[in-house]
Structure 1
């Protein structure tokens, strides 16, 4: 049957979702996708999920309800360094935006390392959006309003860091649309920014949980950003079935665009 599809230029893609102790929402997504004729395999072993993807036995994978502490380290062992960016739908313009970092260990903790990681993260995010025919518009978030500078040493550090990143892009590539408006995430979303760079992985993870798991913003999981195109989406174990479903549909659209 597969050869018949190849003969007529049609390729059937196969996907997988990880299924851990929390099964109900994953099963709901699985059944919904199956009803739409999308082939999905449920995998309960983190290494098997990653290996099947990297060996090209499947065309995309979603972490589902498997433990992040078991999947992510093994994935890093296999593919090297990467960043995670949650894909959410902007409530003001209904377009998608990337929020990153959202992993508590995605970027380094020292000031110099964090700046280098954020610059790399931004470049990967730009490439990802361009591959999906979306014009990147980046916003750097710091810990307070710019006028708050001097009130808190911790806030001052985040503002100074963002200004250094802003200066880097202004000096190296003036075509990059990037702004730093302090802590005002509501303003940069209203302005249509589609790459939101959090101060660190902890605050980014908190923002994702507030947006996606408390306020219910529609989301698609977190895409991996690195120098490879890996169709793996990270998802929370506490997500509803819709987020797992959306992640597979997003990967499916990426594969359609490539074909």
Structure 2
């Protein structure tokens, strides 16, 4: 059985609920954040989505139960029809380079658990040729370069010729190509790392809520195996439907 939170935006939640029930998927609507989280964390259900419950209420409760976490939105790439992760999308989830490294590691592990070979695209504040235009742009470019250097050291790949890309023996790619999100998506990159949580949230809203790119909610990334997907109160019924279907392995 799966749980769907129902708060605001009830009409869209009910549309998703009815479509899922019609397909024979066991779903229950819950209007209490504590009940939804308790049953999910205690493995009393197969998974849950926030649905349209308040983020400001449920996220602090979740953090108290499982510790620090990051969120990665699952979206469908319009160029390839495959899913990709966009992260971070929590406006306060990235405060330093270590947070980005953590997100990359968790995202890689998540995709590997789905038998998907990770291809990571690091977004910075400008093109690689924009170095020198401002201190803010330079810092963003440098941060991504330092992340590449870190992973090259971890994967014993420091001698590769291209400073902006890491390719491992098992096919993992971590690439810094500046601000060019469109190039990453055209080339099938399945993890997009935004410069910070605010820009990641803006990218999600532009792609998912304005341009209507198909989405599945946001998975929780940390060292706990919690089957919970965060969804926006502003979503349409298909996004809630997709989130449950994703948890169901469809």
Question: If the TM-score is normalised by the length of the shorter chain, which range does it land in?
Answer: over 0.9
Shift of 1:48: 1.2
Where in structure 2 are the equivalents of 1:48-127 lying within 5 Å?
A: 48-108=35-95, 114-127=96-109
Identify the residue that residue 16 of structure 2 maps to in structure 1. 29
SS in 2 for 1:147: helix
Identify the residue that residue 136 of structure 1 maps to in structure 2. 118
Matched, 1:231 2:227: yes
Identify the residue that residue 171 of structure 1 maps to in structure 2. 153
Of the three residues 177, 191, 196, the one matched with 2:192 is: 196
Matched, 1:184 2:180: yes
- Aligned-residue Cα RMSD (Å) equals 1.0
Normalising by the residue count of structure 2, what TM-score does the alignment of the two structures yield?
0.92
> In the aligned structure 2, how far is the partner of 1:166 from the partner of 1:123?
13
Identify the residue that residue 162 of structure 2 maps to in structure 1. none
1:51-99 Cα distance to aligned partner (Å, 9 max, x none): 1101112110101111111111110100011110000011111111000
Q: Does the CA contact (< 8 Å) of 2:75 and 2:216 recur in 1? A: yes
Matched, 1:41 2:25: no
1:224-257 Cα distance to aligned partner (Å, 9 max, x none): 1111221100111000000000000000018xxx
Shift of 1:21: 2.3
> In the aligned structure 2, how far is the partner of 1:82 from the partner of 1:149?
32
Identify the residue that residue 8 of structure 1 maps to in structure 2. none
SS in 2 for 1:253: coil
Gaps (5+ residues) in structure 2? Answer: 158-167
Shift of 1:46: 1.1
Identify the residue that residue 160 of structure 2 maps to in structure 1. none
1:106-163 Cα distance to aligned partner (Å, 9 max, x none): 122xxxxx21011111111111101101000001000111111111111111111111
- How many residue pairs match? The answer is 236
Consecutive aligned runs of 4 or more in structure 1 exceeding 4 Å deviation: none
Identify the residue that residue 161 of structure 2 maps to in structure 1. none
| The structure with more helix, counted as a fraction of residues | 1
